Structure 1
């Protein structure tokens, strides 16, 4: 009798169902995400502390705002008041004079110091550090220091002039000297910063160009005119633009400490007059309107500089 096997035939294991994979990001997308994550903190800071206050300032210019928090819509009333305010236009005139004198002087001094700092001279590192140090000092400290040095009676500058046989001057009290003194101090503070920028641009110029010019018999002035200046023009454009914007919108700390806008409003820059209207007289709406107008002027001036220099793109033959 044959026995019947009860064992079941071997059946091949069924393949496991495929698990769907999440789509993998391309390298370009991963780079975009990484860049966005790195930029997010700065972008958020700019949005919260720059963009939003600027928008609120523009909106505030259409309101009459008291120091007690009351708001009243007046439309273009603040701008009409600004157009008829002689003190505001005096401050704009002084600001224009300040910019016209400060920017060229600062540009030339910084360029000269950059050319000097590029030379391989003994102790040149100490020279660079000493010139850059005023820029990292608080402007309030700088103002107090120079206010003491330029004091009419006990200031070191007037003492030195008396010792040399010259007459003493009221550097910060004379309307004819106060603005020039502020400009000179500002140049002293800022020249080290722009010197470093010029130095960086000068070091990007290949040394082979100067060697070829030297072989051809070109002197220092010819080398500067034919090599240094054309190749340094993008850096010059940056310095010119940044120094102009800084002159238009800066100087508040220095003016506040040195002269307080005097004497006879002779150093009352537009930014200082706006500060007075907002935080001394409580005219926040009016100050916002003037601030918006000043920003508009700054944008126009920047656009003119950009157009005249063709966006910093220069031909060597120009």
Structure 2
């Protein structure tokens, strides 16, 4: 019997190696930019969080001094409480508005594309421009919102000048300015819900509310988890609205963690301390995201 020649593995051809080289070249530039403008600044900020770096003057190694200082800083506690309050108001309201708008636009009606575009315009608009509009709307004397409340005999508050109402005013603006993105996500989720489920619910005698509760919401659990995670991250990073509308006032009632980081880093040049607060904020966001994921996973079981 003749010996069977061993099967040799074919090496990749020249065309394949050529494609691989081009693929690596295409990946190299984005990865380089990511490393230079994201990974490197994060690493530098992490190192600075253990120092008293202040742009000017000498830099000394403080080890865990900045992190220890955080837990004895009353202004950090105020900023943290304000951020949590903002999150508790912003996340549920953001989900409700985005889902409601998505359900209204998930219909075969004329000009629905125009409405989708109109609802998305605030997302791509400048924060300063939208804040200017809301600053006029919330004016205590001639603001449109207080004028509307006056039609019903309600004396509207001094929204941005009252420590009780300043945070709800910022939440209203933030929800209005950002619900367009979450609305589009919910629209995609609603398009994926099988029509047969609604038909079966209708045959079982379910009304609109029952169909929404027992069909729409369960089918949108993963979408809601994704949207809520985005909203939580966005809420803990809120800065523009507080900076433009209230500058953290009145009486520090709207100072948030990112705004406090900005004040420490660029206002008082305490870059090391600001870096430490940034990593504490990142840890807080991570914890909330994990808790949210666990809660949704428990419901899906």
TM-score computed with the length of structure 1 as normaliser: 0.84
**Alpha-carbon offset, residue 35 of structure 1:** 5.2
**Alpha-carbon offset, residue 209 of structure 1:** 2.6
Q: Structure 1 residue aligned with 2:58, among 45, 50, 70?
A: 70
1:288-312 CA-partner distances (Å, limit 9, x unpaired): 011111001111111111222229x
Q: Structure 2 residue aligned with 1:252, among 234, 239, 258?
A: 239
1:84 to 2:72 alignment: yes
> Aligned-pair RMSD on alpha carbons?
2.4
* Structure 1 range deviating more: 105-114 or 209-218: 209-218
Aligned to 2:7: none
Compared with structure 1, are the counterparts of its residues 225 and 161 closer, same or farther at alpha carbon in structure 2 (3 Å cutoff)? closer
**Alpha-carbon offset, residue 159 of structure 1:** 4.0
> What pairs with 1:176-255 in structure 2 (closer than 5 Å)?
176-249=164-237, 251-255=238-242
* Structure 1 range deviating more: 226-235 or 265-274: 226-235
> What pairs with 1:86-125 in structure 2 (closer than 5 Å)?
86-125=74-113
Indicate the SS of the match to 2:52: strand
Q: Structure 2 residue aligned with 1:276, among 238, 263, 286?
A: 263
> What pairs with 1:7-26 in structure 2 (closer than 5 Å)?
23-25=11-13
Aligned to 1:14: none
Indicate the SS of the match to 1:145: helix
* Partner Cα distance (1:282, 1:171) in 2: 32
Aligned to 2:45: 57
* Partner Cα distance (2:92, 2:63) in 1: 39
* Partner Cα distance (1:236, 1:31) in 2: 40
1:288 to 2:275 alignment: yes
Compared with structure 1, are the counterparts of its residues 213 and 37 closer, same or farther at alpha carbon in structure 2 (3 Å cutoff)? farther
1:151-172 CA-partner distances (Å, limit 9, x unpaired): 2334333344446543242110
Aligned to 1:158: 146
1:24-43 CA-partner distances (Å, limit 9, x unpaired): 34999887666544443332
1:108-160 CA-partner distances (Å, limit 9, x unpaired): 11111111110223332222222111111011211122112222334333344
Compared with structure 1, are the counterparts of its residues 174 and 227 closer, same or farther at alpha carbon in structure 2 (3 Å cutoff)? same
Q: Structure 2 residue aligned with 1:297, among 284, 287, 299?
A: 284
**Alpha-carbon offset, residue 62 of structure 1:** 0.4
More helix by share: 2
Aligned to 1:46: 34
* Partner Cα distance (1:172, 1:234) in 2: 36
> What pairs with 1:304-315 in structure 2 (closer than 5 Å)?
304-310=291-297, 315=300
**Alpha-carbon offset, residue 240 of structure 1:** 0.7
Compared with structure 1, are the counterparts of its residues 162 and 295 closer, same or farther at alpha carbon in structure 2 (3 Å cutoff)? same
1:255-274 CA-partner distances (Å, limit 9, x unpaired): 11100000000000111011
* Partner Cα distance (2:201, 2:149) in 1: 46
- How many residues are paired up? 292
* Partner Cα distance (2:123, 2:140) in 1: 26
* Partner Cα distance (1:193, 1:119) in 2: 18
1:39-68 CA-partner distances (Å, limit 9, x unpaired): 433322222221111111111110001231
TM-score computed with the length of structure 2 as normaliser: 0.88
* Partner Cα distance (2:23, 2:127) in 1: 35
Which is greater in Rg? 1
